[in-house]
A and B are shown apart, each in its own frame.
Chain A
Amino acid sequence: MAEKEFTDVQDIGKDYKYGFKDPEKHVFKSKRGLTREVVEEISWMKKEPEWMRNFRLRALDIFLKKPMPTWGSPILAEIDFDNIFYYIKPMENQGKSWDDVPEDIKRTYEKLGIPEAERKFLGGVSAQYESEVVYHSLRKDLQAQGVIFLDMDSGLREYPDIVKKYFATVIPAGDNKFSALNSAVWSGGSFIYVPKGVDVKIPLQAYFRINAENMGQFERTLIIADEGSSVHYIEGCTAPVYSTDSLHSAVVELIALKGSKLRYTTIQNWSKNVYNLVTKRGIAHEDATIRWVDGNLGSKLTMKYPSVYMVGKGAYGEVLSIAFAGKGQHQDAGAKMVHVAPGTSSTIVSKSISKDSGRTSYRGLVKVYKGATGVKSNVRCDALLMDEESRSDTYPTMEIDEENVNVGHEATVSKVGEEQLFYLTSRGISEQEATLMIVNGFIEPFTKELPLEYAVELNRLIQLEMEGSVG
């Protein structure tokens, strides 16, 4: 093990490797702040149909009218909406090969390891830089099977009927203040349609990068898994370190039709000057499965509660999440499971680690509507506190309107167990290593769910040598 790089658990998050920035070059940048003109300008530049332009303007009105949430985190109130750039177009035309992508941007993605991962194990890649997707690819065999994987803007242009049918049906603009904001100024994101019975065996990936200071990134993703199909989508995100804040507010809508399996994996590693306020929700029809695997490592404040609405008999929803909060970070993450149909079941597993005065909060909901008989739901939250300056909260809610159900919630908060530490150190393992082993064991339910190749990439991302640090 001597030759292997060893990262001490105490250093997680201290050394952010993705904080570098490129010189800012763009072909268009909206002026600071949010006005009707900015929204109209975005729509005009994208040459959008009338209905989308109207949708955006209605959403803007809703955003301006809705009050800021008073729950969640006190630092939410510090967001200066007037200081954000709502739209930055980095280049004229999307690249079909990495050679089409400007050198600076290409180098950024190389540093992030995207082209390499694409060669090795991905079925399709979408790379978003500021407001637009700068590179996009989908393997030929998947194209031949009728799989659609595009950036959302191209999706709207090329498949207007499908987009119009499903867009904003899972998360309407008025759902919350930040979904309204996204609906007004959205740009980029992914549009995926998997035809009936098609099993996409290798993951599709999107990578989101913010480069400019005070940038607002508002991608919009819509994934439709048709009957009996299956797909795994992975997203990653990073940003440079600046002294002032940026804002990322995405809306992600999933539709899993009868018997389909949809899995959505996020490794969020924004720099600590990014507000990450995201609405993610999926609708699972009869016998469909939606699984959210959600890793939150970066950002200043994350408020994100991936949800599954089980509307068809036998549907299954799952959220597996992990959150790290270090100095100056608040991860307010969680999950919502809404059981509308009988025989549906759900699982939530949440693991959080707080250190260096960081704060993690689990906030969740399990709702069982009348008539949803035979529902089973199980929630498990575990929190580790690494030092006495850190904080952990658990705020679950269960609303049960049906008798014939089994709903359970369990949570624990503790520090790294002294007995476990003693056991390991008494076998000659240093305390640092032992702590790391315990932390790794703690988050293992999460890491073991990632595709092997991706888990390796994740290891780099969280600077935590899951394997190789011991033995």
Chain B
Amino acid sequence: MFEFEKNFTKEKLELLSKSRNEPQWVLEKRKKAFDAFQALNWPTKQEEDWRRTDFSPLEKSNFDLNRFLNSSKFITNGSASLTTSGQPTAQFSAQLLQSDSESIFSGEAEFKSSKIIFTDLDSAIKNHSEILSKYSDLINPNDGKFLAFNKAFWNKGMLLYVPKGVTVSLPLYHQLNLKSSGWGVFPYTIIIAEPNSKIILVDDYTSQEQKDWAFSDALTEIYLQRDAQLIYVNSQRWSGNVYHLLRQKAKLEANAQLITLTVNLGSQKSRSEIETELAGSGASAYIFGLTIGNGQQTFEQHTLQDHKAPHTTSDLLFKTALLDSAYAVYSGLIKVEKQAQKTDAYQANRNLLLSDKAKADTLPKLEILANDVRCTHGATVGPIDPEQFFYLISRGIEDKVAKQLLIEGFFDEVLGRIKENGFKDKIKEFLEEKIVE
């Protein structure tokens, strides 16, 4: 047995649950996931799905779980902390800022009267177990080693519950900001949007530069009930020596509408799996991805557009810009089940290579079992358009700035396709930070 599994045992799991004063049903769920984690093999490079990015160093790494046991202290309306984190409150209706040891919540008046639950997962277990026990099973722990690991050992988390008919115009902001060294964070996010509700959530992972390796294994479950609408942004800005894994699954009931945007900027090696199940007739999903890689960064992104009901729509656009020796893999599947007639599905992956050492692999896939459908996909890999570049520098713009402008323009297509504006400045800010670097 390798170091990793030696450190994550059933005894440690029980200790973790106990130190957080969790009720029995939570421990039982953790244990079930642990059994799946133990039974599953570590993914190896021999498997087609795992051969492009090597996560085996994780298996041999020596993470000490004892350091990640404690739950954080929950502070409501800690306004002092809001200013120190430099987040102006006005653009969000509520914020939940989680650091190594604290969770700080603050909300505007509009939010407070809305009956929305927006809290860290430990508090949710204490106060809203009736909701949690009903959901939190969208992702089956048997489906993968790392997601089983998260379901067993999750140590941060968030619940967003939007009751029937509630709509909030300003976005919610959730941040996980880690400052310690050599951390392991396993965030578990649950979003439940009841019928006819409407909300925007920005989920932001960030950390301080540190010496030791760190490990993030995140899980997001999204339940969209009839006619619910959600915009969910998951942004990853981890520091450079992090291994990051994300599994996100959304299930859309009839006429629900999801816009999901995955932003990948940080970490050394990252792998995101974004699954969207269109389970109810008339459901529609707009699935976007923005990635900028530099240095030795590796990004692997898998998507599944799973059409299970008739008259469903999905539209996917993943854009990636790569500098230095960065490497990106996109592997996406549109799956149309037999009963999902009148499906309209689209999938596009665009890669911009900005250095002669950058590499991109793209595998857009279709599996179509219904005939009355319209499914199209496209993928491109290429450099900056030399004509556009020439146009800019001929107008006296420096090479470097011209390149930056063109990258920004490249990403504008994605943001331009989302109508709601409230959260875009934040995303642009993240992108610009990275582009200038």
Contact = CB atoms under 8 A, between A and B. Distances in A.
Interface of A: 71, 370, 383, 385-388, 390-415
B368 A391 contact: yes
B128 to A, nearest CB: 43
B284 interface: no
A388 B366 CA distance: 16
A370 B355 CA distance: 12
Contact of A403 (B338, B355, B363, B367): B355
B354 A396 contact: no
Given A400-B361, A403-B355, A409-B364, A388 B378 contact: no
Contacts of A390: 371
A393 B356 contact: no
Contacts of A406: 380-382
A412 B346 CA distance: 9
B382 A407 contact: yes
B354 A413 contact: no
Give the 4 A-B residue pairs with the shortest CB-CB distance, closest first. Answer: A385-B371, A394-B366, A403-B353, A413-B375
Interface string B315-358: 00000000000000000000000100100000000010111111
B369 interface: yes
Contact of B371 (A387, A399, A403, A407): A387
13 contacts: A383-B368, A388-B371, A391-B367, A392-B366, A392-B367, A392-B368, A405-B383, A406-B382, A407-B382, A410-B376, A410-B377, A412-B376, A413-B374
B199 interface: no
B360 interface: yes
A413 B378 contact: no
A393 B364 CA distance: 11
A394 B354 CA distance: 29
B372 A395 contact: no
B369 A407 contact: no
Given A405-B381, A409-B377, A410-B378, 7 more contacts: A388-B338, A390-B371, A397-B363, A400-B359, A400-B361, A403-B353, A408-B378
Given A392-B368, A403-B356, A407-B382, A398 B377 contact: no
Interface of B: 48, 338, 341, 351, 353-383
Given A392-B368, A394-B365, A395-B365, A400 B374 contact: no
B364 A396 contact: yes
Contact of A408 (B358, B360, B367, B379): B379
Contact of A391 (B362, B363, B369): B369
A415 B378 contact: no
A48 to B, nearest CB: 37
Contacts of A391: 367-369
Contact of A411 (B341, B369, B377): B377
A445 B276 CA distance: 36
Given A391-B367, A393-B365, A397-B361, A405 B382 contact: yes
A392 B369 CA distance: 7
B383 A404 contact: yes
Contact of B379 (A386, A409, A412): A409
Contacts of A395: 363, 365
Contacts of B374: 412-414
Contact of B359 (A393, A401, A414): A401
Nearest to A392: B368
Majority SS at the chain B contact face: strand
Nearest to A393: B367
A391 B373 CA distance: 12
Contact of A404 (B356, B364, B367, B371): B356
A383 B334 CA distance: 14
A397 B365 CA distance: 9
B344 to A, nearest CB: 10
B10 to A, nearest CB: 33
Given A385-B371, A412-B375, A402 B362 contact: no
Contacts of B358: 403
A398 B362 contact: yes
Contacts of B365: 393-396
B368 A385 contact: yes
Contacts of A386: 371
Nearest to B345: A413
A222 B397 CA distance: 56
Q: Which of B356, B360, B381 has the most CB of A within 10 A?
A: B381
A146 to B, nearest CB: 44
Contacts of B369: 391
Given A396-B364, A403-B356, A411 B376 contact: yes
A414 B383 contact: no
A348 to B, nearest CB: 13
Majority SS at the chain A contact face: strand
A12 B150 CA distance: 52
A141 to B, nearest CB: 47
B371 A398 contact: no
Contacts of B381: 398, 400, 405-407
B368 A413 contact: yes
Nearest to B365: A395
Nearest to B380: A408
Contacts of B354: 403
Given A393-B365, A397-B363, A409-B364, A388 B380 contact: no
B397 to A, nearest CB: 21
A332 to B, nearest CB: 13
A257 to B, nearest CB: 30
B351 A400 contact: yes
A413 B340 CA distance: 14
A400 B353 contact: yes
B378 A411 contact: yes
Given A393-B365, A394-B366, A400-B361, A407 B377 contact: no
B322 to A, nearest CB: 9
Given A408-B378, A413-B368, A400 B360 contact: yes
A409 B382 CA distance: 12
A185 B249 CA distance: 50
Contacts of B368: 383, 385, 391-393, 413
B261 to A, nearest CB: 23
B273 to A, nearest CB: 18
Nearest to A386: B371
A25 to B, nearest CB: 46
A11 to B, nearest CB: 18
A102 B381 CA distance: 57
Given A411-B376, A412-B375, A415-B372, A398 B367 contact: no
A388 B369 CA distance: 7
B383 A411 contact: no
A406 B350 CA distance: 11
A401 B325 CA distance: 10
A324 to B, nearest CB: 15
Contacts of B367: 391-393
Contacts of A415: 371-373
Contacts of A387: 371
A399 B366 contact: no
Contacts of B359: 399-401
A268 B379 CA distance: 30
A193 B363 CA distance: 38
Nearest to A71: B48
B317 to A, nearest CB: 14
Contacts of A399: 359, 361
Q: Which of B356, B359, B368, B372 has the most CB of A within 10 A?
A: B368
Contacts of A383: 366, 368
A189 B364 CA distance: 36
Contacts of A400: 351, 353, 359-362, 381
B379 to A, nearest CB: 5
Contacts of B372: 388, 415
Contacts of A414: 373-375
Nearest to A388: B371
Contacts of A394: 364-366, 377
Nearest to B331: A397
